[in-house]
C-alpha cells in the first residue's frame, strides 16, 4: 500500500470534515473565500437539481457535482441526464459568475461534493483558493477543469492591452464558451470527469455528450453563423463588459464592449463612453446590447447622448434570472431567447418586433 500521506487512502474524508463543523478545513476554506459578497450558491433550491429536474439530493446515493459557473453546470447536467449524478450550481440566482466573490457558505458544498467543475486557473480567484486549500488538506473532491485543451484567443483581440487574463503569461481571454465550437471541448472535459467519477454510467455520459454537441452546440453555431452572415454591418456596440470577443473571432464581427476589461464589475471610464459614441456615429447604430447582470446606467447614458433608440439584452451565460430557472433555461435556451434575437436587432437584420418569442421586444426594450 502507498504510504504517501497525499495518497487517496490517506486523504481526509469529506463527510468527516463536514461533521466536525468548524474543523480545520472549514476554517481554511472560510479564510480563503472570505467576505466578498453575497451568500454562496446551493442554499437556493433554484440552483440545485438532479439531472432529471426532480431536485435530487445526495441522500439518493448518487455522486454530487458542484460547478463554479452556470454554463458548465448546465453542460454537466446535460451530460449526466438519466444517471444518478446530481448537479449543483454554486452561483446564486441573479448574480454574474465572473467577478462574484462568495462568503464561506460555499465551503460545505465544495467539501461534500464528489467533484468540483471549474473554469481553470486565474478566472475565479475564489475557486483557485478553494482548490488550493482542498489540495493542501488532502480532500479527495475530484477536480474537473473545463478549460483544459481549449485554444484561447489573445487579449489583443479583446481591446484592453493592460488587462490581465488567463493562461501562461496571463495573456489569454477566458470567455471561450461563447464560441459553440470551443464549448464542445468543455463538454468533452466534463464527460471525461464524469466517466472517471461514475464509470458505470460511461455509455450514457458519452451518448448524452455526443447528442448535446451535435443537436445543440452545432445547431447554435449554424444559427449564429447565419445571423452574422446576413448582417450588412459588422460592428456591434455593447454596453457590457468585455466577454464577447470569441463570438467576434468566430463569426468575423467586431464586438465593441463599453467596459473593456474582463470582469463584469469593471468600471466605465469617460474615455469608454467617448469611444462608444464614436462607434455609434461612425456605424449609424440604432440599437445596442446591454448586459443582463450588469448596470444599465451606461446604456441609458448612450441613449440620452447618442442616436441610439434602445438597448436589448446580452449575456455570456454567466448567470440566470429567477424566471429563467422556473422555465428551466440553460445555455441553449439563453442563446435562442436572449443573445440571438438581440444580435439580429443590433446588427440591423430585423426590427425588435420581428425577433424572439411573443412580447420579446416589449419585455426587453430598455429592460430594468
What would the pLDDT profile of 58-83 be if each residue is shown by its tens digit?
335 799 999 999 999 999 999 999 99
**239: pLDDT strictly greater than 60:** yes
Contact indicator for 67, 17 with CB cutoff of 8 Å: no
Domain limits, the chain: 64-215, 232-364
Copy the grid coordinates of residue 186: 468543455
Question: What angle do helix axes 125-136 and 24-33 make, rounded to 10 degrees?
Answer: 160
Contact indicator for 95, 293 with CB cutoff of 8 Å: yes
**104: pLDDT strictly greater than 80:** no
Give the span between the Cα atoms of 117 and 144, in whole angstroms. 5
- Give residue for cell 477536480: 143
Class of domain 232-364: alpha beta
Give the span between the Cα atoms of 90 and 108, in whole angstroms. 11
pLDDT of amino acid 241? 75
Cα 88 to Cα 15, 49, 65, 114, 117, distances in angstroms: 17, 6, 6, 11, 10
pLDDT of amino acid 11? 43
Residue 264 or residue 128, greater confidence: 128
Give the span between the Cα atoms of 13 and 141, in whole angstroms. 9
Residue 29 or residue 146, greater confidence: 146
Q: What is the mean pLDDT of the chain?
A: 81
The CATH code belonging to domain 64-215 is 3.40.50.1980
Residue 267 or residue 356, greater confidence: 356
Say how far residue 147 (Cα) sits from the centre of its chain: 12
CA-angle at 58, arms to 201 and 204, nearest 5°? 15
Cα 135 to Cα 131, 213, 228, distances in angstroms: 6, 32, 44
In sequence order, the β-bridge partners of residue 287 are 310
Contact indicator for 32, 126 with CB cutoff of 8 Å: yes
**3: pLDDT strictly greater than 60:** no
Copy the grid coordinates of residue 207: 451518448
Q: For the residues 286-294, what does the mean pLDDT come to?
A: 93
Give the span between the Cα atoms of 219 and 208, in whole angstroms. 16
Give the span between the Cα atoms of 312 and 356, in whole angstroms. 12
Give the span between the Cα atoms of 14 and 113, in whole angstroms. 8
Report the DSSP pairing between strands 254-259 and 142-145. Answer: unpaired
pLDDT of amino acid 276? 93
Same fold yes or no, 64-215 and 232-364: yes
CA-angle at 22, arms to 96 and 113, nearest 5°? 50
Amino acid at each position: 500500500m502507498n504510504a504517501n500521506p497525499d495518497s487517496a487512502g490517506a486523504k481526509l474524508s469529506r463527510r468527516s470534515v463536514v461533521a466536525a463543523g468548524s474543523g480545520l478545513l472549514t476554517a481554511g476554506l472560510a479564510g480563503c473565500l472570505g467576505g466578498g459578497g453575497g451568500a454562496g450558491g446551493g442554499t437556493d433550491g433554484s440552483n440545485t437539481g438532479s439531472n432529471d429536474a426532480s431536485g435530487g439530493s445526495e441522500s439518493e446515493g448518487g455522486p454530487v457535482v458542484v460547478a463554479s459557473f452556470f454554463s458548465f453546470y448546465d453542460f454537466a447536467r446535460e451530460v449526466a441526464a438519466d444517471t444518478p449524478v446530481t448537479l449543483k450550481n454554486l452561483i446564486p440566482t441573479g448574480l454574474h459568475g465572473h467577478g462574484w466573490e462568495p462568503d464561506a457558505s460555499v465551503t460545505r458544498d465544495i467539501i461534500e461534493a464528489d467533484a468540483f467543475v471549474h473554469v481553470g486557473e486565474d478566472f475565479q480567484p475564489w475557486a483557485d483558493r478553494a482548490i488550493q486549500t482542498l489540495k493542501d488538506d488532502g480532500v479527495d473532491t475530484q477536480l474537473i477543469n473545463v478549460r483544459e485543451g481549449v485554444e484561447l484567443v489573445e487579449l489583443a483581440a479583446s481591446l484592453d492591452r493592460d488587462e490581465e487574463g488567463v493562461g501562461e503569461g496571463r495573456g489569454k481571454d477566458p470567455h471561450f464558451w461563447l464560441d459553440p465550437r470551443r464549448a464542445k471541448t468543455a463538454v468533452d472535459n466534463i464527460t471525461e470527469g464524469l466517466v472517471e467519477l461514475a464509470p458505470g454510467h460511461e455509455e450514457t455520459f458519452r451518448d448524452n455528450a455526443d447528442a448535446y454537441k451535435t443537436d445543440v452546440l452545432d445547431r447554435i453555431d449554424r444559427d449564429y453563423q447565419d445571423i452574422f452572415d446576413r448582417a450588412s454591418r459588422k460592428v456591434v456596440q455593447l454596453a457590457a463588459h468585455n466577454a464577447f470577443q470569441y463570438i467576434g473571432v468566430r463569426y468575423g464581427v467586431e464586438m465593441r464592449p463599453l467596459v473593456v476589461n474582463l470582469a463584469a464589475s469593471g468600471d466605465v471610464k469617460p474615455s469608454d463612453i467617448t469611444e462608444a459614441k464614436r462607434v455609434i456615429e461612425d456605424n449609424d447604430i440604432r440599437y445596442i446590447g446591454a448586459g443582463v447582470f450588469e448596470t444599465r446606467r451606461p446604456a441609458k447614458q448612450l441613449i440620452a447622448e447618442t442616436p441610439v433608440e434602445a438597448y436589448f439584452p446580452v449575456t455570456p451565460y454567466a448567470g440566470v434570472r429567477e424566471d429563467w430557472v422556473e422555465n428551466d433555461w440553460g445555455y441553449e435556451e439563453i442563446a435562442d431567447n436572449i443573445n440571438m434575437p438581440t444580435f439580429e436587432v443590433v446588427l440591423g437584420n430585423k426590427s425588435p418586433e420581428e425577433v424572439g418569442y411573443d412580447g420579446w421586444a416589449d419585455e426587453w426594450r430598455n429592460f430594468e
